[in-house]
Chains A and B, each alone.
Chain A
């Protein structure tokens, strides 16, 4: 049964730890961040490990079919899954990434660049993990402007005050 009364006593803040940096896994955090912000929530995102790559100026995101047995790409009216043995061949990830990017365009799905820009426009608070910056030797000038640098304590402080905390 649908509720008809406004439910404005809902959560008012959302925090996320973003740990993955492939094209497919970049979607959930940015979709949820932009939508939550549009619904009036205060949103914070903490980018760490492979998730930190999503804050680079040049996003060159790829997907990997390796270790992803549930992935099925629609192809000629059927669905194609790849055995790991095939996924390990050179060029297969590039092929799968190209197919995914075509589907994204064809189905009217936003690009990650677009969603990230909307998140920034909606004042989503972003924190880049300083430890990961050091660990992977990322340069500050390669990252977009805006995100603050911080560590675990910065995230825990935000999380302890947020209604919803997600680990993606």
Chain B
């Protein structure tokens, strides 16, 4: 699945992946998708919480080697 926008948050620590993702989502049209790539293991739980609290849809959360990949749909 190809997302509309890719955000490279590799090497960034809490809370930067979330803050950068929020900014990127704001720039997307409704229902646009954002793929976030991160190396912070804490991001797994944090993106779940972020999406629950904001109402954006976490469509995918997976690990690709050492990279955590999240696909978020801009629904809020």
Residues A2 and B14 in contact, CB atoms below 8 Å apart? no
A:1-55 near B, CB below 8 Å? 2-3, 5-8, 10, 31, 34-35, 38-40
How many whole Å from A53's CB to the nearest CB in chain B?
22
Choose among A3, A5, A39, A108 the residue that contacts B50 (Cβ–Cβ < 8 A). Answer: A39
Label chain A's interface by main secondary structure.
loop
Contact at A34–B48, with CB atoms within 8 Å?
no
Contact among B13, B40, B50 for A38, CB-based, below 8 A: B50
Say yes or no: A110 contacts B16, CB within 8 Å. Answer: yes
Bound CA span A34–B76, Å? 18
Contacts A2-B48, A38-B19, A118-B19; A8 near B53 (Cβ below 8 A): yes
Chain B contacts for A131, CB-based, 8 A: none
Contact of A108 among B16, B19, B55 (CB under 8 A): B16
We find that the number of chain B residues with CB closer than 8 angstroms to chain A is 18
- 0 or 1 for each of A83-102: is its CB under 8 Å from B? (1 = yes): 00000000000000000000
**A2 CB contacts on chain B under 8 angstroms:** 48
Q: Does B22 contact A (CB under 8 A)?
A: yes
- Among A3, A5, A108, contact of B11 (Cβ-Cβ < 8 Å): A108
Besides A7-B52, A108-B16, 4 other CB < 8 A contacts? A6-B52, A38-B18, A40-B76, A109-B14
Give chain A's interface residues, CB within 8 Å of chain B: 2-3, 5-8, 10, 31, 34-35, 38-40, 107-110, 118
